Amino acid sequence: MGLHNLEAMILRELRTLPGLSKLRQKDIMVWSTSEVKAHEGETLVRLDDLGVNVAYLTPKPKGEASR
């Protein structure tokens, strides 16, 4: 399995989580099999099926104006 395939699998897995169906590849800030620290505006999740930790940009609630 190549790196591109793994990243595609991570994105597919994230999109199955509630509220993340429109998540894009560029919204994933970092992923690792070891510990990951989320920065301000990011959410951290562990994908047990793949064995990776992922930090992604937290989606803004609908109706909130983008800055």
Residues 31-65: tens digit of each pLDDT: 999 999 999 999 999 999 999 999 999 988 777 65
Say how far apart CA 33 and CA 36 lie, in whole Å.
9
Give 17's strand partners: none
Residue with tokens 């429109």: 22
DSSP 8-state secondary structure symbol assigned to residue 15: H
Say how far apart CA 31 and CA 63 lie, in whole Å.
29
Kindly state the tokens that stand for 58: 């937290």
- Determine contact, residues 28/56, Cβ cutoff 8 Å: yes
Q: Where are the chain's structural domains?
A: 3-57
pTM, two decimals, is 0.84
